Amino acid sequence: MRLTKKDPSLLADLETLVEPSSRGDPESELRWTCKSVRLLSQELERQGHTVSYPVVAELLAEAGYSLQGNRKTKEGSRHPDRNAQFEHINALVHQQQRVGQPVISVDTKKKELIGDFKNGGKAWRPTGMPEKVRVHDFIDPKKGKAIPYGVYDLTRNDGWVSVGIDHDTASFAVRTIRRWWQRMGRIAYPRAVSLMITADSGGSNSARSRLWKWELQRFADRTGLTVKICHFPPGTSKWNKIEHRLFSFITRNWRGRPLTSVATIVSLIGATRTTTGLRVRAELDPGKYPEGREISEEEMAKLIVHPDTFHGEWNYTIQPHARG
């Protein structure tokens, strides 16, 4: 657009206004925003830009946003401090990035059946020769399911995915974070002293999980990093950046292709690329992560966990034990 050439910072400032309030379908690149174009235009005017609200609408469309109607999809109860938590996370992310410290978004992607099962979407093939797959999607007990757990670096726009074949537990989740740190993180951030993690409130990285915190303490002790954790409020998983900045592109990359083996899944994830520079590394994690691991009160007492003053159940810091 000609206006963005005359005003190079316009699009970046618009994205900054939209990001704390943007939402998106976890499996779609398309995003939508809760702020009206009129309000966005007014705020941009206050920042010194000359831009009308119709032009704001055009800029949003070019950036992948769109107007969306209502859909009867319940996200869960609306917590009164939901928006305040989003703003809190956004402020901490920018603070962490300003001082050159890593920020990652983590989550488990949808579990995938391994085998010659139908996969959504379409892929180019010779006319009249579609890929033949099973009629019914009953799990193959010999192959099982693949569990992709991802780590997305918000600053560098790259990702790591461990493909597990056992259980989606907190031990598996933190093990994936540790593999990301060993393979990618510590190389990209050689002077890091802290790591910020944004995550959902449920699943293997649940805010209530004792095992999650216990495993993160072990991670902090092994790396010497202070770990800052921020959870999105319950029912707002779609706001997690990893969903539409990493997982959506993985889904697009393997659309229409049966995920016939773990090797195929790892290969397709690792081949995911975008024009904006996203790069992904993927590895199989053959480890065993049994369910039901209980963390005792005695073990919890050994953790160095500092809840934040604002919603300490969602925001907390884990410090490493002193070495010696």
Mean pLDDT of 198-225: 96
- CA–CA distance, 214 with 220 (Å, rounded to integer): 10
Reading the block at residue 94, the tokens are 């920018």
The answer to whether residues 79 and 234 touch, using CB atoms and an 8 Å cutoff, is yes
- CA–CA distance, 273 with 283 (Å, rounded to integer): 16
Helix (H, G, I), strand (E, B) or coil at 197: strand
Helix (H, G, I), strand (E, B) or coil at 239: helix
Residues across the chain:
324
Mean pLDDT of 144-152: 95
In the prediction, which pLDDT does 20 show?
Answer: 59
Reading the block at residue 106, the tokens are 């983590």
Please report how many Cα atoms fall inside a 13 Å half-sphere around the Cα of residue 321, on the Cβ side: 12
Q: How confident is the model at residue 1 (pLDDT cuts 50, 70, 90)?
A: low
| Closest listed residue to residue 310, CA positions, set 104, 91, 35 | 91
Q: Are strands 226-231 and 194-199 parallel, antiparallel or unpaired?
A: parallel
- CA–CA distance, 232 with 254 (Å, rounded to integer): 28
Residue 109 DSSP class: P
Domains of the chain: 2-62 (no CATH), 82-318 (3.30.420.10)
Q: Does 198 score more than 80 pLDDT? A: yes
Mean pLDDT of 103-120: 83
148 bridge partner residues: 163
In the prediction, which pLDDT does 24 show?
Answer: 53
Residue 229's alpha-carbon distances to 101, 151, 196, 224, in angstroms, are 14, 14, 6, 16
Q: What is the DSSP string of 159-209?
A: EEEEEESS---HHHHHHHHHHHIIIIIHHH-TT--EEEEEE-SSGGG-TT-
In the prediction, which pLDDT does 41 show?
Answer: 84
The answer to whether residues 106 and 198 touch, using CB atoms and an 8 Å cutoff, is yes
Q: Does 162 score more than 70 pLDDT? A: yes
- CA–CA distance, 115 with 134 (Å, rounded to integer): 9
> Hey, how many other C-beta atoms are within 10 angstroms of the C-beta on 126?
6
- CA–CA distance, 236 with 314 (Å, rounded to integer): 13
In the prediction, which pLDDT does 240 show?
Answer: 87
- CA–CA distance, 12 with 4 (Å, rounded to integer): 10
Q: Does 286 score more than 60 pLDDT? A: yes
Q: State pTM to two decimals.
A: 0.75
Instruction: Read off the pLDDT of residues 287-309 as tens digits, 9 standing for 90 and up.
Output: 999 999 999 999 999 999 999 99
65 bridge partner residues: 31
Pick 312 or 49 by higher pLDDT.
Answer: 312
Average pLDDT, the chain: 85
> Hey, how many other C-beta atoms are within 10 angstroms of the C-beta on 306?
13
CA dihedral (250, 252, 253, 255) positive or negative: positive
Pick 208 or 236 by higher pLDDT.
Answer: 208
